[in-house]
Structure 1
Amino acid sequence: MSEEQLKDTTAMPVAGKPPATVQVTWSGDHVFEGVRSSGGPAITMDSSGKQGPSPVDTLLCALAGCTGVDVVDILTKRRTPMSALSVEVVGERFAGTPSRITKIHLVYRIIGAGVERVHAERAIELAVTKYCSVRDSLDPNMPITWALELNGSYSE
């Protein structure tokens, strides 16, 4: 390892976490199957959206799933578990090529009798800004905003 690589702590692996390794195989047309190299369930990605979400949609799903796990864990630790959670994600796209995502907005819909808005908002804020490894893997300058709908009551 070069001296420059040793100084770059952003490239250092997290202690105890093995590298994430996946295998993606072309299935024809614009369809690809992805699976962890160690095995497990596969996901189908299809840029035409016929057999599965596109790769970009899959990225947005990964962000929602990653932050969602954190929200569930944080609220469970507060002993205010929810009965339902869904996350709607809108990724604005660049008009040129590549059509990269330029801005993301997440809407968290939480149902739970004992969940207080202030605690749900704090859980979401921590998930989006501190704990989600998918978010931290994206461009740090990309704007990511969120809103909360708690028990049917919406606020931004």
Structure 2
Amino acid sequence: MKAVVKWVAEETFMGTSESGHQVVLDANKGAHAPSPMENVLISLGGCSSVDVVSILQKARQYITDCRCEISAERADAVPAVFTRIHLHFVVSGFAVAEKHVERAVALSADKYCSVAKMLEKAVTISHSFAIEEAPRPA
């Protein structure tokens, strides 16, 4: 896997993935785009969410939405690395079983999410979830 990051102007950079997709990065505290550290959180939430949704679908749970709310703490010194990250999954659906959501979150955290497995070597990552009942399907 390869990627390229190119300086665009001032503190703005363009990242291009091997597959040709682009993402803007802003080193100026995210004034115009996500900062590189914000992108790390987005990548973690995205990777984990893909797992959770896939596992719930395979468990034949009727889900209509999945949101991952991520909060993080950073060190006060330079480099300001993450010291703690918490992922809170909010799963919406009809009659979604708590045991399936709990299992999906655990499997993502413990086995499948490559981003989490990489980050957990340096930062404490915790998880929680909530289930919101969606309107009955037609």
Q: TM-score, normalised by structure 1?
A: 0.80
Matches within 5 A, 1:57-96: 57-96=38-77
Query: Would you say 1:102 and 2:83 are equivalent positions?
Result: yes
Give the Cα–Cα distance (whole angstroms) in 2 for the partners of residues 66 and 132 of structure 1: 6
User: In structure 1, the residue corresponding to 2:60 is in which secondary structure?
Assistant: coil
Among 23, 35, 45, the residue aligned to 2:25: 45
Higher relative contact order (CA 8 A, sep 6+): 2
Q: Is contact 1:63-1:134 (8 Å) kept?
A: yes
Aligned residue among 124, 127, 131 for 2:105: 124
Give SS of 1:83's match: strand
Q: Which of 140, 144, 149 is residue 121 of structure 2 equivalent to?
A: 140
Give CA deviations for 1:21-74 in whole Å, capped at 9, x if unaligned: 1111111122111111342x2111112212211000000000000000000110
Q: Which runs of structure 1 show a deviation greater than 4 angstroms over 4 or more consecutive aligned residues?
A: none
Aligned amino acid, residue 112 of structure 1: G
User: Is contact 1:72-1:81 (8 Å) kept?
Assistant: no
Superposed CA RMSD in Å reads: 1.3
Unaligned ranges ≥5, structure 1: 1-19
TM-score under structure 2 normalisation?
Answer: 0.90
CA 141–98 in structure 1, closer or farther in 2 if over 3 Å, else same = closer
1:141: how far off?
4.8
Q: How many residues are treated as equivalent by the alignment? A: 132
The question of whether the paired residues in 2 share the 8 Å contact of 1:64 and 1:89 is answered with yes
Unaligned runs of 5+ in 2: 134-138
More strand by share: 2
Larger radius of gyration: 1
